[in-house]
Structure 1
């Protein structure tokens, strides 16, 4: 059974490293959560290390720029590991070929920028679907449109045997009060149609491998028992933590706010029912990161 805590400070002394989700925990896509930022600053002041672990389909440098725009100060974290960088490494290693059809919005095009993680990268060409060897999916062309609008293109791609590289396994995010579809919803549809989707963000191992590399860059070698994952995604953040055998703090006021009856804190009975239904078992839960 999960333990509902009042603040990160209640358990901070048990951990040396936090792996912190961004969207729904530190910001809502429009503005930062001040209490969350303060909690991360407090953890770092106590000697801890904060890794922002995000399924954003962009480089850590682009995510850092976004955080600056959202007023998440640089002293709230030490480093960033993104699904985008993990997926980009695979792309530049040729995971879906050299000629790719790109799905995403203009702000996602930095996905194709050079990446220092890969030596001797393949040369990637963006081409029309009919000429493609694979698909690079950073998200839908229209995040408000039903993913099913892509069925005709996906049927063609499946028949050609194209693999889909998913740069963001999230199904949905809440931008302020508006729920938007993410690349994970498209990858799920493609898989359901019989296509093959490749994942690199939470809950899949590649992004955790990248997080460990980011920690190594900081000179940190930390036992997994001293790492805490924090997030609001049941099947990204919490499933990922369970798969990596690290403790988790579930933020109930994000994607599951309605199901868990979260106002300031979750309703205990509704939270237990939700965790049982989703088959997840975070060690701790809290309404909002603070």
Structure 2
């Protein structure tokens, strides 16, 4: 049974750390949510550790710069763990070869160039080269080249060519969709899902898959000396944040006012408990707690 709560503060004393999603919880792609910022600050003030856990295909430093641009202050978190970080480890470990074709926007090219110091030696040894599709051993997908105008249908020919050549796809962002303000956009996960439907192979490293949680736990250990920290996963994605937390044996806080807000009645600030219970039950994803908005 999912408990509907009003504030993070009402349960914060039960946890040593939170793994908090970004888009739909802390910001809307354009600007920060002030109440969410204050909730994380209050959790830190009580001695808790805040890790921002995001399916962004960008590495940590690029995500941090993006957050500042949306007025998300650096004092509401301790560290960032991105799907881009986890996918970089896979890329530089040779998961899809060394000659790779990139599908994504120019803004995501930091995936190849923004390399953390702990990964730099591995990256130097692997010598990844970006090449045209016809010369590739594998494909790195960080998203659509123009997510404001394109849909997965625009990539059908490219995906068919990849399938014909037996190319694996490294998906740097498992999310299917995201809301940019009041616009709904497709993410890399939508292209990966379309590729799998064709019979292609897609590799995932962000939520809800284990690699991003393994990396988050390693980074948490550097910040919190508890031998077995109590962790709460916060997010508005039932198939990413909630499913990932449940798979890791962690408690989850589902933000109902995010991407699924329309499912729970006309007032996002007051989700209908019966609709919420039925919806979570149908998806077999029973979060520990739910909250209208992170606050």
Q: Same fold (TM over 0.5)?
A: yes
Unpaired runs of at least 5, structure 2 = none
Q: How does 1:75-86 map to 2 (within 5 A)?
A: 75-86=75-86
1:123 equivalent to 2:127? Answer yes
Q: How does 1:16-31 map to 2 (within 5 A)?
A: 16-31=16-31
DSSP-derived class of the 2:243 partner: helix
* Superposition deviation, residue 107 in structure 1: 0.7
* Superposition deviation, residue 137 in structure 1: 0.2
Q: Residue deviations 1:41-63, cap 9 Å, x none? A: 00000000000000000111011
Supply the distance in 2 between the matched residues of 1:214 and 1:29 (Cα, whole angstroms): 25
* Superposition deviation, residue 266 in structure 1: 1.1
Contact 2:242 2:285 in 1 (8 A): yes
Q: Residue deviations 1:183-202, cap 9 Å, x none? A: 00000000110000000000
Contact 2:236 2:259 in 1 (8 A): yes
* Superposition deviation, residue 223 in structure 1: 2.2
DSSP-derived class of the 1:112 partner: helix
Supply the distance in 1 between the matched residues of 2:168 and 2:96 (Cα, whole angstroms): 6
1:274 equivalent to 2:285? Answer no
| TM-score scaled by length of structure 2 | 0.95
1:191 equivalent to 2:196? Answer yes
Name the counterpart of 2:261.
Answer: 257
DSSP-derived class of the 1:281 partner: coil
CA separation of 1:268/1:222 partners in 2, compared to 1, >3 Å: closer, same or farther? farther
CA separation of 1:71/1:284 partners in 2, compared to 1, >3 Å: closer, same or farther? same
* Superposition deviation, residue 263 in structure 1: 2.0
Unpaired runs of at least 5, structure 1 = none
Contact 2:18 2:231 in 1 (8 A): yes
Contact 1:88 1:115 in 2 (8 A): no
* Superposition deviation, residue 149 in structure 1: 1.5
* Superposition deviation, residue 157 in structure 1: 0.7
Supply the distance in 1 between the matched residues of 2:46 and 2:270 (Cα, whole angstroms): 25
1:245 equivalent to 2:246? Answer no
Supply the distance in 2 between the matched residues of 1:24 and 1:73 (Cα, whole angstroms): 16
CA separation of 1:157/1:274 partners in 2, compared to 1, >3 Å: closer, same or farther? same
* Superposition deviation, residue 222 in structure 1: 4.8
Contact 1:98 1:124 in 2 (8 A): yes
* Superposition deviation, residue 159 in structure 1: 1.3
Name the counterpart of 2:70.
Answer: 70
The alignment yields a C-alpha RMSD, in angstroms, of: 1.1
Supply the distance in 2 between the matched residues of 1:243 and 1:134 (Cα, whole angstroms): 28
Q: How does 1:138-177 map to 2 (within 5 A)?
A: 138-143=142-147, 144-177=149-182
Contact 2:138 2:169 in 1 (8 A): yes
Supply the distance in 2 between the matched residues of 1:222 and 1:157 (Cα, whole angstroms): 45
Q: Residue deviations 1:211-234, cap 9 Å, x none? A: 01111222534525x110000001
